[in-house]
C-alpha cells in the first residue's frame, strides 16, 4: 500500500491515525489536517470502501476541507475527519462505535467528532460513551447542537438564493429550476425550502423511491440518479458524495450555477478551471455547506444558542459574494479564490 505521505491528497497533514479494535471489529482512520485555529473538528463517515486506501484518501481530502470550512466560517476550530470502514453489509454495532469513541479520546482533544454520512444522532450518543470530544448530541429546544443536517440545508438554501441573485439578478426563487442530486437529510431539506419559495424541482437519489416520494410530496419531478447531471436547469445542486464534478461530467452540465452541499465536489483541482471556463458560477462546497459545523462547533464550544447559530449561517451568502466578486475581478476560478482565502486564514497562504 502507498504510504499516506505519498498519496496525492496528503497536504502536510499534522497526523494520520489508523485504528483497529479486534474485539469490536472496528477499523478506522482519523486524519488531522490543521490545528492552527483550534482542535480539529469534523464529522465521522461510516462507509464501505472496496479498497482501504480509498478510505485514507477520503479522510485526507475531507479533513483538509474541514480546515478550510471552519476557517472560512470564522470558527476557532481546525480541520480533521474520521472514517469508520464498514464491511459490505455495513454492519454497525454499539461496541464498534464505543471503540471509535476511545480512539477519538486517545488523541487527547486534538480531534472533535460529529455526524457525517452513515452516522446518526443516536450513534453519536454511543460514541460519546468513549470520549467527551464529541458534538452533535441531542440538546434542549433552542440550544445549539443536535443533528447538523437541517442547519447544513439552511445554509445551502441561502447560498443557492445568493447564487441566483448574483448570476441572474433574481431576488426570489419562484420559477427557478433546481436539479438536486441526493435528497437525504441535506438535499431533502434544501428541496423543501425551495418548494416553499415556488422553485421548480427535479430530484434524484441512489434510492430512487426516496426521490420519487419527495418529488410527489413537493410537486417536483424525479429522474434516475445517473441522469440528474444532464438535466437542463438554472441550478445543479450536488448533495450526495464527492468528486461528482470531473472532466467527464462537467461537459454534461446544462446549468449556469453549481451550488450544493456535497463535500469535495471537484474531483481534481483542474476541475475548478473547467467550470470557470464554461462560465458556470460555482459555490465552493466548504463555504456553502458550513451550516452544520457552525451548529455543532458552537455546541461543543458552549458559545451561543440556536439564534446565534442561525445568525452565523446567514453570513454564508456574503462570504460567497466576496469570493465571486474576487473571482470576477481576478479572472481566477471561484474555488481557487476560496482556497487562497482559507489557506491564508490557517497560516499556509
- Grid cell, residue 39, equals 482542535
**What is the pLDDT, as a whole number, of residue 7?**
87
Q: What is the pLDDT of residue 1?
A: 59
Q: Which of 81, 92, 161, 212 is catalytic?
A: 81
pLDDT, tens digit, for every residue of 120-153?
A: 989 999 999 999 999 988 887 777 778 888 999 9
Least confident of 3-7, 69-73, 290-294, 328-332: 3-7
Average pLDDT over residues 66-74: 96
CA distances, 229 to each of 150, 177, 232, 233, 328 (Å): 24, 13, 9, 10, 25
Contact 48, 85 (CB under 8 A): yes
In angstroms, how far is CA 65 from the centroid of its own chain?
Answer: 8
Lowest-confidence range among 69-83, 134-148, 327-341?
134-148
| All residues at 6 or more sequence positions from 144 whose CB lies less than 8 Å from its CB, including other chains | 295, 296, 298, 299, 303, 304, 305, 306, 308, 309
Count of residues for the chain?
Answer: 349
Taking a C-beta distance cutoff of 8 angstroms, is the pair 243, 265 a contact? yes
Q: At 287, is the secondary structure helix, strand, or coil?
A: helix
Residue 93 has pLDDT above 70, yes or no: yes
Q: Can 170 be counted among the known catalytic residues?
A: no
CB 116 within 8 A of CB 252: no
Q: What is the mean pLDDT of residues 45-70?
A: 94
- CA pair distance 260, 190, nearest whole angstrom: 9
d(CA 124, CA 97) in angstroms, rounded, equals: 8
Considering only residues 7 and 70, tell me which one the structure prediction assigns the higher pLDDT: 70
Instruction: Of 5-14, 83-92, 251-260, 274-283, give the lowest mean pLDDT range.
Output: 5-14
Averaged pLDDT for residues 42-61: 94
Rounded CA-CA distance 322/131 in Å is 38
Distances (CA, A) of 179 to 173, 226, 235, 254: 13, 12, 6, 10
Element housing 160 (H / E): helix 149-168
Model pLDDT, residue 73? 96
**Chain mean pLDDT for the chain:** 95
Mean local confidence (pLDDT), 84-88: 96
Amino acid at each position: 500500500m502507498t504510504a499516506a505521505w505519498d498519496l496525492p491528497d496528503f497536504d502536510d497533514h499534522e497526523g494520520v491515525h489508523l485504528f483497529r479494535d479486534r474485539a469490536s471489529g472496528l477499523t478506522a482512520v482519523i486524519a488531522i489536517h490543521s490545528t492552527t485555529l483550534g482542535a480539529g473538528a469534523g464529522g465521522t463517515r461510516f462507509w464501505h470502501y472496496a479498497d482501504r486506501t480509498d478510505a485514507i484518501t477520503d479522510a485526507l481530502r475531507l479533513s483538509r476541507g474541514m480546515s478550510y470550512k471552519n476557517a472560512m466560517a470564522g470558527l476557532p476550530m481546525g480541520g480533521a475527519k474520521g472514517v469508520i470502514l464498514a464491511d459490505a453489509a455495513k454492519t454497525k454495532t454499539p461496541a464498534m462505535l464505543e471503540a471509535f469513541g476511545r480512539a477519538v479520546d486517545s488523541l487527547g482533544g486534538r480531534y472533535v467528532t460529529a455526524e457525517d454520512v452513515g452516522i446518526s444522532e443516536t450513534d453519536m450518543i454511543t460514541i460519546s460513551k468513549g470520549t467527551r470530544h464529541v458534538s452533535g448530541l441531542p440538546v434542549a429546544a433552542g440550544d445549539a447542537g443536535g443533528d447538523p443536517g437541517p442547519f447544513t440545508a439552511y445554509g445551502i438554501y441561502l447560498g443557492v438564493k445568493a447564487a441566483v441573485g448574483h448570476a441572474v439578478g433574481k431576488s426570489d426563487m419562484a420559477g427557478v429550476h433546481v436539479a438536486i442530486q441526493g435528497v437525504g437529510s441535506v438535499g431533502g431539506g434544501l428541496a423543501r425550502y425551495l418548494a416553499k419559495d415556488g422553485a421548480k424541482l427535479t430530484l434524484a437519489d441512489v434510492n430512487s423511491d426516496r426521490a420519487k416520494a419527495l418529488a410527489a410530496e413537493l410537486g417536483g419531478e424525479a429522474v434516475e440518479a445517473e441522469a440528474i447531471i444532464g438535466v437542463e436547469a438554472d441550478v445543479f445542486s450536488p448533495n450526495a458524495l464527492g468528486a461528482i464534478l470531473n472532466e467527464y461530467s462537467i461537459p454534461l452540465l446544462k446549468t449556469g450555477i453549481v451550488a450544493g452541499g456535497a463535500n469535495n465536489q471537484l474531483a481534481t483541482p483542474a476541475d475548478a478551471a473547467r467550470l470557470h471556463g464554461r462560465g458556470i458560477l460555482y459555490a465552493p462546497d466548504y463555504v456553502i455547506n458550513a451550516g452544520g459545523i457552525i451548529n455543532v462547533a458552537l455546541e461543543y464550544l458552549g458559545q451561543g444558542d440556536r439564534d446565534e447559530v442561525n445568525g452565523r449561517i446567514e453570513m454564508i451568502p456574503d462570504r460567497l459574494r466576496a469570493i465571486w466578486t474576487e473571482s470576477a475581478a481576478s479572472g481566477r476560478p471561484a474555488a481557487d479564490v476560496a482556497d487562497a482565502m482559507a489557506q491564508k486564514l490557517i497560516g499556509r497562504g
